[in-house]
């Protein structure tokens, strides 16, 4: 198995993607929200790039079945039900509901890799389950940190490195690209204090400044669920 990490969130060639399992990661906070919401019983998640599209799509579903969530500038969007803090996505609120999410980077990233053979949502919350699923699928792997408006994101890269570690630990022969090896080295640097990587990151600092620092500790928890979210036909559902 060949394991690669794309450090910058530029859309890879569709031809390459059709031969890869792709793991999208937006640790702060889109994929952490998705994993947590599904673990709390959300029925499905529709990730969309813009808020107008999200509002229109919500109107196509029966009243009471669908919640609108996400952020712009890390704040809840006007007229939406939920923001983008994972702690808002509790069982009482989301169980059985369809979620329509739109965020600055994370929801767009799924559409950038939509021709992937299998597309999974990864986070620290479910990293071991994702490693296991990638090995079961047995395809070459592209880890796709969704970055920060085109820039490198420390927290996404560290999580990619933790996923590399999870795969290496299973003892199967894997071939790491330089980027995958670099992500693994970065993970080793923060292995015993993951939350520190989130605090040092640009987006982590922005969230702290907005009074949303509690989300960093939440998103830095590891292996609290074995949910594996799969994106197919525009919808993310738990595997």
Instruction: Identify the DSSP state of 213.
Output: T
Site string for ligand MLT, 18-57 (x = CB under 6 A): --------x-xxx---------------------------
Site for ligand MLT in 70-99 (CB under 6 A): 71, 74, 84
Alpha helices in the chain (DSSP H): 14-17, 30-39, 51-58, 91-94, 106-112, 127-137, 154-169, 178-190, 194-200, 202-209, 214-219
The rounded radius of gyration (Å) of the Cα atoms in the chain is: 16
Q: Does 153 bind ligand MLT (CB under 6 A)?
A: no
Stretch that binds ligand MLT, among 102-110, 130-138, 154-162, 191-199 (CB under 6 A): 102-110
Given CA atoms 155, 136, 181, 18 in this order, what sign does their dihedral have?
A: negative
Residue from 106, 116, 145, 204 in contact with ligand MLT (CB under 6 A): 106
CB of 37 to ligand MLT, least distance (A): 13
Query: Are 109 and 26 spatial neighbours (Cβ–Cβ below 8 Å)?
Result: yes
Q: Which is nearer to ligand MLT, 106 or 161 (CB)?
A: 106
Residue from 66, 103, 123, 153 in contact with ligand MLT (CB under 6 A): 103
Q: Does 126 bind ligand MLT (CB under 6 A)?
A: no
Q: Does 9 bind ligand MLT (CB under 6 A)?
A: no
Stretch that binds ligand MLT, among 4-12, 15-23, 103-111, 218-226 (CB under 6 A): 103-111
What is 138-195 written as a DSSP string? -SEEEEEE--BTTB--HHHHHHHHHHHHHHHHTT---EE-HHHHHHHHHHHHHTT-HH
Instruction: Identify the DSSP state of 126.
Output: G
CB of 84 to ligand MLT, least distance (A): 4
CB of 28 to ligand MLT, least distance (A): 6
> Residue 46 in 3-state DSSP?
strand
Q: Which is nearer to ligand MLT, 6 or 74 (CB)?
A: 74
Closest CA to 100 of 22, 144, 42: 42
Residues near ligand MLT, by CB under 6 A: 26, 28-30, 71, 74, 84, 103-106
């Amino acid at each position: 198995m060949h394991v690669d990490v794309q450090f910058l969130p530029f859309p890879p060639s569709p031809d390459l993607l059709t031969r890869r399992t792709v793991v999208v990661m937006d640790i702060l906070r889109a994929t952490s929200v998705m994993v947590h919401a599904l673990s709390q019983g959300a029925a499905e998640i529709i990730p969309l790039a813009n808020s107008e599209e999200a509002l229109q799509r919500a109107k196509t579903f029966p009243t009471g079945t669908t919640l609108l969530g996400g952020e712009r500038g890390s704040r809840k969007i006007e007229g939406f039900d939920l923001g983008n803090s994972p702690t808002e996505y509790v069982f009482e609120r989301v169980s059985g509901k369809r979620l329509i999410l739109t965020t600055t980077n994370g929801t767009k990233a799924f559409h950038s890799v939509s021709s992937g053979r299998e597309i999974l949502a990864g986070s620290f919350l479910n990293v071991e389950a994702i490693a296991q699923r990638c090995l079961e699928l047995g395809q070459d792997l592209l880890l796709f940190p969704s970055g920060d408006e085109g820039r490198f994101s420390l927290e996404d890269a560290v999580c990619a490195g933790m996923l590399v570690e999870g795969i290496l630990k299973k003892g199967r022969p894997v071939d790491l690209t330089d980027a995958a090896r670099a992500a693994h080295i970065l993970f080793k640097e923060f292995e015993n204090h993951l939350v520190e990587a989130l605090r040092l990151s640009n987006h982590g600092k922005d969230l702290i400044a907005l009074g949303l620092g509690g989300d960093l500790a939440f998103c830095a928890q590891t292996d609290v669920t074995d949910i594996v979210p799969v994106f197919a036909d525009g919808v993310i559902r738990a595997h």
